[in-house]
Amino acid sequence: MARMLKFNIFRYNPQDPTSVPHMQSFTIDETESMTLFIVLNRLREEQDPSLQFDFCCRAGICGACGMVVNGRPGLACHTKTKDLPEEVTLMPLPVFKLVGDLSVDTGTWFRGMYQRVKSWCETKKVFDPSAPEERMDNALAEKIYELDRCIECGCCVAACGTALMREDFLGATALNRVARFMLDPRDERTEQEYFDIVGTDEGIFGCMGLLACEDVCPKYLPLQDVLGRLRQRMAFAAVNNILPSFLRKEVKL
Amino acid sequence: MQIIQTDLLCIGAGLAGERVAIEAAENGFSVICLSLVPARRSHSSAAQGGMQAALGNSAMGEGDSPDVHFADTVKGSDWGADQECARIFVDTAPIAMRQMAFWGVPWNRVVPGEQTYYKGGKPFTAYEKPENEGLIHSRSFGGTAKWRTCYTSDGTGHAVLYTLDNRAAQMGVQVHDKTEAIALIHDGETCMGAIVRDLKTGELRAYLSRATLIATGGYGRIYRESTNAVICDGGGMIAALDTGVVPFGNPEAIQFHPTGIVPTDILVTEGCRGDGGTLLDVNQYRFMPDYEPEKAELASRDVVSRRMTEHMRKGLGVKSPYGDHLWLDIRHLGEKHITTKLREVQEICESFLGVDPVHQLIPVRPTQHYSMGGVRTNKDGAAYGLKGLFSAGEAACWDMHGFNRLGGNSLAETIVAGMWVGGKVVEFLAGNDTTFNTAAVREAYEKQAARINALIKGSNGNENVYAVRNAMFDTIMKGAGIFRNGTDLTESVTKLQEILQRARKVGLRSNGLGANAELGLALKIEGMVKLAQCVCYAALQRTESRGAHTREDFPERNDRDWLNRTLATWVNASDDLPTLNYEPATTVFEIPPGERGYGGGKIIPMDNPPQATPAGKKA
């Protein structure tokens, strides 16, 4: 017997002077293999064409559809209704600026992040089109890709206690990005340069270790390990120059 | 009216758009990319499999060269490709891959020694040379003589797009995301930028540019069942067609991918079959070798899709509430292989189907996947019809894919054409100035503002935009699916003429304020129906079968009459049908038309077959 599902959805259109933030309820009949992608599109087409939300790839690859589902940030496209109770509350991701209803502006936040952490390979080398590529060990390439799999959905930031309290916190996604470049021999930055970016309270030392980031990451990135090792490495980077040589340590990510 | 001015305006910030943008930025020009979504969410990110380039580092790629890649590409295109472009592509591809490695892509690399690979579901060993250790590795893809596809696990598009967007951020390329170009600003001769709707606020702005690039990807979303992201609705092509002077090249050339999952139409990569996955029918029988003894599951996509449909028509598909499907079997590849090399595939199966591909079969069927057609450009990427307008990537009909493109060639095209066209855009910017005609700017702006006003007020009518779109979905699939025929196409063309009338009478049900999605679709629906009509009308006129275009009533490839490219224009906005013209498919024949070696089918030869010309020489 198909269930009737009740959705309580946050509604607010900042561009409409008559709109005030409120919750609105919708009911919809559940169908086989139903996901929130199917639910929200049906609600828009059949019940309320003004409903705002974001989807893009609808395949869990692009990260566009992050929202808070019954209190937990996640990707709407791969949330199956059969895993949800009959009543579901949908809220936009916090931290990011609201565009309207369930849609938020992650783009501005992330482009700011790229500049803060210099999210690229810093190198003095110049590309030589006639030369073969520089070699890399396949295991290292796979290790870099493991951290490069972040889809910038923003769920880790939305679930982060520190990010909710302080606007300037880099968040797990940015710390993971820096770790990705630390692994990459093509990036020629020194330990000091990395330290200047993440060895601060806005960076790794602001992390309170609550680790909701790892719990909610839809790509199952090993954020607990990455953040732990990054904190250790940055701690040693801070004191290595005053420690006697036998106590110095290089922490591998 | 807010006006923003820049040297280069890239409409679209996927791989092709950003690669062109980077080229211009590196040469000191100002660049703004417009994007419907944050750049990294562009559909390029969803490409799992890889990029073809003849690096020849891997054991199974030994002896590869751009010439072999060229032959595969031209055969794959069923001789519909412009051979000059295909040549530029294959020669540039290895350099572009190495450049992406330089910028930070974690390509999978050669691991020396004996390695186990799969072909046709059976394991075999190959010896990777120690001297190639650490160079870019390659995997197998359909329709290729060598293993040539460079890859990063099965997140190649994601990895390359992230690296490229990193580079764009480093070079100071501005990305204005959540914006949509809804019309080009032009005077019938020169393109001067675009009228853009801000998808955060609903505000309308004018962007003025000396060069404008359309890199908006494909138009798959004119089909209901498409592997494409929801943003791939042909927005750039609509804006170009709307000018009345820029032609839509080969609209009828639509590729169906053999393995979209049922029911959500999400793609699972060709890498599954490349690595040894097989296709099974209702009796769990592997049927592809019966049709294609040589290549089996690894024949080109058009052939595999057609054979699958043929097999299902014999009643051998698996029945489901969402229609018939077949099975994709990768169980024999083993847990280790699936959890590392095909990880995204496993995630998709588990998240969207509740299926574990290590132990279970994956339900698949052919699904709309790629648009070979697009904004017709010359080999420099300059659009026909308007000076200062360029196009690259899937949005363009450059045209290296002809009537079928090979897996791994489209993702590679984005950065290879991006690199090449980027160079031409730089030459153009260095040598040309533009006069911005303020009357044309104001006129374009006011026209779009008036359209929005009319939609909100419902002054053209009260047609429901979603109902119109559903009618279009039904009609295009009936006429221009995998198998096509004159009767169904004629019916679809007639119906789409009626649907176009309805699209012109759409009125909103919501208030249209802010980032209103109903308004977004309403602004586009007339254009989408026009694209659908271009597809059906061009498919009806093309009385032959070539590549992905398969006419049941004209099964031969007819080189005598149809070795050409369709050029569709919509001369007057109020016309019911496009105007079709044709040009030769290619002026250079490095390889004269011949047999593909797979897919079967008869060929009606040219009356005077051309002689092969050496690379780069005009015929």
> What CATH code is carried by the domain that includes residue A240?
1.10.1060.10
B253-303 pLDDT per residue, tens = 999 999 999 888 998 888 888 889 999 999 999 999 999 998 899 888 888
ipTM score: 0.97
pLDDT higher than 80, residue B616: no
How far A247 CA lies from chain B's nearest CA (Å)? 34
Kind of pairing, strands B396-397 and B374-376? Answer: parallel
B277-309 core/surface letters (b: 16 or more CB in 10 A; e: else): bbbbbbeeebbbeebbeebbbbbbbbbbbbbbb
Is the domain of A130 the same as that of A85?
A: no
What phi and psi, each to the nearest 5 degrees, are found at residue A251? -85, 125
Distance CA B417, CA A39 (A): 39
Between A63 and B142, whose confidence is greater? A63
Calculate mean pLDDT across residues B93-112: 98
Domain boundary among A76, A104, A132: A104
Place of tokens 């929130």: A36
In a domain, A68, yes or no: yes
* Chain A residues closer than 8 Å to B169 by CB: 111, 114-115, 119-120
Return the percentage of chain B with pLDDT > 70, whole number.
99
* Chain A residues closer than 8 Å to B523 by CB: none
Domain boundary among A63, A82, A104: A104
The pLDDT-based confidence of B598 (bands split at 50, 70, 90) is: confident
pLDDT higher than 80, residue B617: no
| Residue A145 contacts B where some CB pair is shorter than 8 Å | yes
Place of tokens 């359909």: B142
In a domain, A110, yes or no: no
Is the domain of A174 the same as that of A225?
A: yes
B305-354 pLDDT per residue, tens = 989 999 998 999 999 878 899 999 999 999 988 988 888 889 889 888 88
Is the domain of A165 the same as that of A193?
A: yes
Amino acid identity of residue B445, one-letter, is Y
In a domain, A211, yes or no: yes
Q: Which residues form the domain of A76?
A: 4-104
* Chain A residues closer than 8 Å to B167 by CB: 120
pTM recorded for the entire structure: 0.95
Q: Is B158 a catalytic residue?
A: no
In a domain, A87, yes or no: yes
CB-CB contact of B390 with B20 (8 Å): yes
Return the percent helix, strand and coil in chain A, to nearest 5: 40, 15, 45
What phi and psi, each to the nearest 5 degrees, are found at residue A113? -65, -40
Taking an 8 Å cut-off on Cβ atoms, the answer to whether B134 and A136 are in contact is yes
Q: How many domains does chain A have?
A: 2
Is the domain of A132 the same as that of A194?
A: yes
In a domain, A24, yes or no: yes
pLDDT higher than 90, residue B545: yes
Is the domain of A122 the same as that of A92?
A: no
Amino acid identity of residue A22, one-letter, is H
Domain boundary among A40, A73, A104: A104
Kindly give, in sequence order, each residue whose CB lies less than 8 Å from that of residue B316, ignoring residues fewer than 6 positions away: B281, B282, B283, B285, B287
Distance CA B230, CA A154 (A): 20
Place of tokens 């992050």: A66
In a domain, A26, yes or no: yes
B422-433 pLDDT per residue, tens = 999 999 999 999
**Given this model, what pLDDT does residue B123 score?**
85
CB-CB contact of B571 with B579 (8 Å): yes
Q: Which of B41, B153, B264 sits opposite A63 (nearest CB)?
A: B41
Calculate mean pLDDT across residues B383-411: 96
Q: Which of B153, B353, B514 sits opposite A13 (nearest CB)?
A: B514
Is the domain of A148 the same as that of A171?
A: yes
**Given this model, what pLDDT does residue A30 score?**
93
Q: Is B197 a catalytic residue?
A: no
Mutate which: A18, A61, A93, A123, vs B, most B CBs within 10 A = A61
CATH number, domain containing residue A100: 3.10.20.30
pLDDT higher than 60, residue A136: yes
Three-class HEC string of A108-149: HHHHHHHHHHCCCCCCCCCCCCCCCCCCCCHHHHHHHHHHHC
Place of tokens 């393109």: B191
Is the domain of A8 the same as that of A88?
A: yes
Is the domain of A40 the same as that of A98?
A: yes
Mutate which: A12, A37, A54, vs B, most B CBs within 10 A = A54
In a domain, A111, yes or no: no
Mutate which: B18, B23, B41, vs A, most A CBs within 10 A = B41
Q: Which of A13, A78, A131 sits opposite B352 (nearest CB)?
A: A78
Calculate mean pLDDT across residues B603-615: 86
Is the domain of A85 the same as that of A123?
A: no
Is the domain of A150 the same as that of A64?
A: no
Is the domain of A132 the same as that of A243?
A: yes
The pLDDT-based confidence of A249 (bands split at 50, 70, 90) is: confident
Query: How many helices (DSSP H) and strands (DSSP E) are in chain B?
Result: 16, 24
Kindly report the average pLDDT of chain A as a whole number.
95
How far A244 CA lies from chain B's nearest CA (Å)? 36
Kindly report the average pLDDT of chain B as a whole number.
95
In a domain, A253, yes or no: no
**DSSP run (H or E) holding A28:** strand A22-29
CB-CB contact of B525 with B235 (8 Å): no
Is the domain of A99 the same as that of A179?
A: no
